[in-house]
A and B are shown apart, each in its own frame.
Chain A
Amino acid sequence: MPIIATQGLTMRFARVTALDDLSVAVEPGVVGLVGANGAGKSTLIKILLGLLPPTSGTATVLGLDIAREGLRIRESVGFMPEYECLPPDVSATEFVVHMARMCGLPPTAARERAADTLRHVGLYEERYRPIGGYSTGMRQRVKLAQALVHDPKLVFLDEPTNGLDPAGRDEMLDLIRRIGAEFGISVLVTSHLLGELERVCDHVVIIDGGKLLRSQAVEAYTTESGVLTVEVDDGRDTLGQHLHDQGVTVHPEGRFLVVDIAGEQTYDLIRDGVADLGLRLIRMEQRRHHIEEVFQAGPAGPAGPPAPAGAVQPGAVQPGAVQQGAPR
């Protein structure tokens, strides 16, 4: 059963269309929701929580209808907002206990769960101090703890890495992975940074301007592409010219050559070319896609026809687009 399924979900505000005929279904696990700022991510979460009725379309969360069973959805999900949402003058313990009680947990259970959850997110002695004195990283942990304290089946994490330094970002991503893998709680995590989600998610949904761009398992985004990266010690241009003369499509890119694979013989041509010219071959590897290319492929392909955003397929990435992707 999909944890989240939407059919033709549309949300129009007075001047903007936040969601436009969005139909998507995702299975349990860690799901990334990617889009630029204003792509409709936060609006989608509010709709899925049953707080904002959509203009049209339907959706289910954990098999419950958002229009009729909003209360039951809110009993079994957790929500970590993007913005600051913590009162400064109470301690993390006090606050998280209160939020647990708001989910109906009896007093003793609320205290135990709050202590457990704060420990899991990595807040120890400081949890007895007022939140006003916390660092951004600690605040993010409290926000995460309040979303998990009632042991939900699904959590919505809206931009959990916002404002964190690289180390804090890694710790937060690690926590998200543990929530999915160890805690067994499904996660819908939003971000505008694809690279982050590539590391923790099983499945990534990309929306742009309220429209679905792509919804796929992470592996599908990072399959092998049809190009080879070739690195030689000296004489990159010589090799490039040599291969070009033999009818191979080749582009220089930094210290590398990027070669389109036409078939088995491409490998032989490169091998022979390197040997004939007496160059030292450092590496030759098949390049993998990065999720970022989904965004770069459309506008960045001067050679190919500008593909409509929704029609971009993996493997159909234009050479021009690959050229723009930094080697990894």
Chain B
Amino acid sequence: MSTSTIHDIGYRHYDGRRNGRAYVLRSLYVHNLRAAFGLGRPARAKVMPFLLAAIMLLPAAGSVAAFAFTKEPDALFRYASYAVIMQVIVAIFLATQAPVLASREIRFHVIPLYFSRPVGHLDFVLAKGAAMASALFALMAVPVTVLYVGGLVAKMPDSGEQVLKWLGALVGCVLFALVLAAIGMVVAAFTPRRGFGVAAVIAVYMVSAAFVGAVQGIAEAQTNFTLQGWAGLFTPFNLVDIVQVRLLGAQSSSAGVPSGIEGGIVALALCAVIVLGSIAVLYRRFRKAGLS
């Protein structure tokens, strides 16, 4: 029997494969998506995202159960309205997790380590934005799918129509995810302290919702329904709901929706401006952080 010894084989050079830009981009995306749910972090980082994800699922599950017992189609939430009904939970998720992705690495000066490697500035921003949007999409699309599958299992009539409504709602979820991620990431990227970041994102959501709510209330009292509809453009959930109602054929779940197809087109254009604008702002923000 031989005695085992530890051999110090010294430094070994790496002459294996080095993958290109696509691999780096994918790795960065996966890393950030994991971070959005606290994976690869201590347990306390996982509490908030998974708790919120569970809260998102509860009403959907309850609704499916109610439908299965009563066979009353109204017992099942409308797919497209689920994100709007649960918007407070979605906003809290955005507020707690956007700082994790957008400001944590700025605060701890990790950014220069990326840009001293073969990582492009635009790739970096796109990977982070896509990871945040994907996390939000999963948060909203999973309960919507639970509703759909539950309805299917419990024999919801008009299954062909349900598929279309479900797919329309998923498109709506993509749009919600993109717009919310864009707003949340920008706000968080300019508030390096995490606590402030959470507060700032919540504040932007609350203030815009309250302001628009007030304007819509006054407009409704004055029977000015045009103003009531257009005011909806200025708060994220109502904005995307306008697109859902006018372009994806959903029923309205918001206080005000401008009439006609052009309302939907304006809302969609505004969504695109928000997303592209946030990419431009984040690009500059991270580029600056990379040089500090």
Contacts and interface: CB of A to CB of B under 8 A. Distances in A.
A102 B12 contact: no
Interface in B99-125: 104-105, 108-110, 112-120
A101 B40 CA distance: 15
Given A74-B118, A85-B112, A87-B104, A120 B18 contact: no
Interface in B181-239: none
Interface in B14-53: 14, 16-20, 23-24, 27-28, 31, 40-42, 45
Contacts, number: 99
A52 B118 CA distance: 15
Contacts of A49: 116
A67 to B, nearest CB: 16
A122 to B, nearest CB: 13
A114 B72 CA distance: 58
A102 B117 contact: yes
A237 interface: no
A87 B110 contact: yes
Chain A: number of interface residues, binned into ranges = 35 or more
Interface in A61-99: 71, 74-75, 77-79, 81, 83-90, 94, 98-99
A90 B42 CA distance: 8
Given A81-B109, A105-B19, A106-B19, A51 B115 contact: yes
A183 interface: yes
A285 interface: no
A235 interface: no
Contact of A79 (B19, B104, B109, B112): B112
A104 B14 CA distance: 12
B34 to A, nearest CB: 10
A89 B104 CA distance: 10
B168 interface: no
Given A74-B116, A79-B116, A88-B108, A106 B42 contact: no
A146 B23 contact: no
Among B20, B42, B105, B113, the one with the most A-chain Cβ atoms within 10 Å of its Cβ is: B113
Interface in B58-117: 104-105, 108-110, 112-117
B13 interface: yes
A311 B231 CA distance: 72
Contacts of B118: 71, 74-75, 102-104
Given A49-B116, A99-B117, A104 B24 contact: yes
B116 A51 contact: yes
A308 B146 CA distance: 79
B108 A74 contact: no
Contacts of B116: 49, 51, 74, 77-79
Nearest to A146: B113
B12 A89 contact: no
Contacts of B11: 120, 182-184
A315 interface: no
A89 to B, nearest CB: 5
B160 interface: no
A104 B23 contact: yes
Interface of B: 10-14, 16-20, 23-24, 27-28, 31, 40-42, 45, 104-105, 108-110, 112-120, 290-291
12 contacts: A74-B118, A81-B109, A85-B108, A86-B108, A88-B108, A89-B41, A90-B40, A94-B40, A102-B117, A103-B18, A109-B16, A120-B11
